[in-house]
Amino acid sequence: MRYDVVVCGAGPAGATAARELARQGAKVLLCEKEKLPRYKACGGGLTGKVWSELEPGWEDAVEEGALRVVFYHREEAPVEVAFDRPVVKLVMRDRFDQMLVEQAAAAGAEVRDGCRVEGVVEEEREVRVHTGQGVLPARVIIGADGARSLVARQLPFRPSRALGVALEAELPVSPSVLEQYRHRLLLSYGSIAGGYGWVFPKADHLSVGIGSFGRQVKGLRALFQQFCHRLGLPASSPGYLRAAVIPSAASGEAILHTSRSLLVGDAAGLVDPFSGEGIYYALRSGRLAARAVVSFLEGKGDLGSYSESVQKELLSPLYHAGRIAKVVYSLTPVIHRLVRANPEVARRLVEVLLGSRTYPELWLYLKARYRIFR
Ligand SMILES: Cc1cc2nc3c(=O)[nH]c(=O)nc-3n(C[C@H](O)[C@H](O)[C@H](O)COP(=O)(O)OP(=O)(O)OC[C@H]3O[C@@H](n4cnc5c(N)ncnc54)[C@H](O)[C@@H]3O)c2cc1C
């Protein structure tokens, strides 16, 4: 059996690419190494930008909506920004991702779980995808296999990404503690170098984590326990405590295609280097990849249009996110004083996440007012 496209990895990027390709009539295999649905360490925060990328019915997977975002410095001195409608909607990734996989299957993609891609060989006329279930020939492969992407390592791409680390737990808490966090996201910087800690409410527990965009952080578990302790959260018996790699977009031109392959989502390093948001970029790159592959299969040019559209639409604005991150994470006490004195800064930041403002606009706003942003 020869496929038009094998998509490696059934997260949001892969499932979206598979769905869009199948809708265009391509013969698609969506290949996932885990048994589905699978757990994924993630805050599960869907910002306003994501919502319009999703198919009707997606809100069935929403567990909670956040109306307030509270910024802390070292778990102290909160600054709350309140909105009259939810700014972030929260999901559990097993359920959310499964919904996307089912949409891909309904569109006609073949879904194989428990099927690990073990190697990829690109030849002139096809790609040979080696899996635990045999070798699959295809005209194109899409690497949607996340932060530790095998496809990215095996073929000559040049993603422009940095790798960081995170630790996250699904924390069972008492009803009164859960109530405290209802409709509220907590973000706290200053306790971990180059990143932040978070508490996101879910229907019956809290997703709590700490992460850094730099690779050098040591003693992540101790930092996590300290973070929980300072917030009065029980860190001793967390469910699903998982360490994970967080890629993030770095400056510089990214080459995300070869002659018969593309990288999408985390595999391509498409994560906001300031907030860590990655689901939007996964969904969006999945769509852009499908569009480029359809043209390629119809004989209308090569896959280079994909790298160009990702650079223009996704990576260029993230360049400014990286500039803001550099200042904020190196000067957290100064930044927190500034945010306390002018909560408009925090409000504008949340509006960027919502999609009603952009990072380039936020950069210009900060640069015009504060000398540290130069
Ligand atoms: C702790 C943490 C918290 C986060 N919180 C948020 C948040 O609140 N909001 C947000 O927007 N983003 C968040 N992110 C980022 C977000 O989780 C990712 O950007 C997003 O999951 C990327 O989607 P993806 O489809 O590219 O990759 P993934 O979701 O990682 O999916 C990749 C899939 O590929 C499969 N796979 C891997 N290797 C193979 C192989 N060899 N063969 C077959 N299958 C394979 C994996 O099992 C996995 O299912 C967070 C990340 C972390 C680590």
Nearest protein Cα to ligand 1, atom 27: 146
Q: Does residue 313 fall inside a structural domain?
A: yes
| pLDDT at residue 22 tops 80 | yes
Backbone angles phi, psi at 228, to 5 degrees: -65, -45
Is residue 307 located within the same domain as residue 175? yes
User: Cα of 97 to ligand 1 centre, how many Å?
Assistant: 10
Q: What Cα–Cα distance (Å) separates residue 192 from each residue in 4, 189, 209, 216, 250?
A: 45, 7, 11, 11, 20
- Mean pLDDT of the 181-188 span: 97
44 CB near ligand 1 (under 6 Å)? yes
Is residue 12 located within the same domain as residue 70? yes
339, β-bridge pairs: none
User: Cα of 11 to ligand 1 centre, how many Å?
Assistant: 6
Rounded to whole angstroms, the Cα distance separating 356 from 344 reads: 14
pLDDT range class, residue 194, cuts 50, 70, 90: very high
CA 295 to chain centre: 26
Question: What Rg value do the Cα atoms of the chain yield, rounded?
Answer: 20
Instruction: Count up the domains in the chain and report the number.
Output: 2
92 SS3 class: coil
Q: Which of 6-20, 227-241, 247-261 has the lowest mean pLDDT?
A: 227-241
- Mean pLDDT of the 155-161 span: 95
User: Cα of 313 to ligand 1 centre, how many Å?
Assistant: 21
Rounded to whole angstroms, the Cα distance separating 290 from 269 reads: 18
Per-residue confidence (pLDDT) for residue 355, from 0 to 100: 85
Is residue 10 located within the same domain as residue 85? yes
pTM for this structure? Answer: 0.98
Question: CB within 8 A of 330, min separation 6: which ones?
Answer: none
Is residue 282 located within the same domain as residue 353? no
Q: Does residue 325 fall inside a structural domain?
A: no
User: Cα of 276 to ligand 1 centre, how many Å?
Assistant: 12
Is residue 151 located within the same domain as residue 100? yes
266 CB near ligand 1 (under 6 Å)? yes
Rounded to whole angstroms, the Cα distance separating 326 from 328 reads: 6
Is the bond preceding 333 in cis, omega lying within 30 degrees of 0?
no
Q: Does residue 295 fall inside a structural domain?
A: yes
Is residue 288 located within the same domain as residue 175? yes
Q: Which of 115-129, 289-303, 345-359 has the lowest mean pLDDT?
A: 345-359
Token duo for residue 277? 């948001």
Strand 110-112 and strand 117-122: pairing?
unpaired
pLDDT per position as a tens digit, 133-143: 899 999 999 99
Per-residue confidence (pLDDT) for residue 356, from 0 to 100: 87
Rounded to whole angstroms, the Cα distance separating 372 from 101 reads: 45
Is residue 244 located within the same domain as residue 364? no
Using alpha carbons, select from 269, 265, 258 the residue that is nearest to residue 283: 265
127: part of which helix (H) or strand (E)?
strand 127-131
Rounded to whole angstroms, the Cα distance separating 131 from 118 reads: 5
165 CB near ligand 1 (under 6 Å)? no
Residue 207 near residue 213, CB atoms below 8 Å: no
Per-residue confidence (pLDDT) for residue 353, from 0 to 100: 83
Nearest protein Cα to ligand 1, atom 26: 265
Per-residue confidence (pLDDT) for residue 246, from 0 to 100: 95
Q: Does residue 123 fall inside a structural domain?
A: yes
Per-residue confidence (pLDDT) for residue 237, from 0 to 100: 66
Is residue 243 located within the same domain as residue 350? no
Is residue 287 located within the same domain as residue 343? no
pLDDT range class, residue 12, cuts 50, 70, 90: very high
Q: Does residue 374 fall inside a structural domain?
A: no
Average pLDDT, the chain: 95
Token duo for residue 178? 């859960």
Is residue 140 located within the same domain as residue 271? yes
Q: Does residue 326 fall inside a structural domain?
A: no
Q: Does residue 265 fall inside a structural domain?
A: yes
272 CB near ligand 1 (under 6 Å)? no
233 CB near ligand 1 (under 6 Å)? no
Nearest protein Cα to ligand 1, atom 37: 145
Is residue 33 located within the same domain as residue 162? yes
12 CB near ligand 1 (under 6 Å)? yes
- Mean pLDDT of the 191-198 span: 96
How many other C-beta atoms are found inside a 10 Å radius of the C-beta of residue 243? 13
Q: Does residue 114 fall inside a structural domain?
A: yes
Per-residue confidence (pLDDT) for residue 236, from 0 to 100: 67
Percent of the chain residues past pLDDT 70, beyond the cut: 99
Q: What is the DSSP string of 257-309?
A: B-SSEEE-GGGGT-S-TTT---HHHHHHHHHHHHHHHHHHHTTSS-THHHHHH
pLDDT per position as a tens digit, 241-283: 899 999 999 988 899 999 999 999 999 999 999 999 999 999 9
Rounded to whole angstroms, the Cα distance separating 5 from 350 reads: 38
Nearest protein Cα to ligand 1, atom 50: 42
pLDDT range class, residue 163, cuts 50, 70, 90: very high
Per-residue confidence (pLDDT) for residue 239, from 0 to 100: 64
Residue 367 near residue 361, CB atoms below 8 Å: no
Which domain covers residue 93, as residue numbers? 3-320
| pLDDT at residue 235 tops 80 | no
- Mean pLDDT of the 226-235 span: 92
Nearest protein Cα to ligand 1, atom 41: 117
How many other C-beta atoms are found inside a 10 Å radius of the C-beta of residue 234? 14
Last residue of a domain, one of 285, 300, 320: 320
- Mean pLDDT of the 28-38 span: 98
- H helix count then E strand count, the chain: 12, 17
Is residue 298 located within the same domain as residue 335? no
CA 141 to chain centre: 21
Task: Kindly report the CATH number assigned to the domain that includes residue 183.
Answer: 3.50.50.60
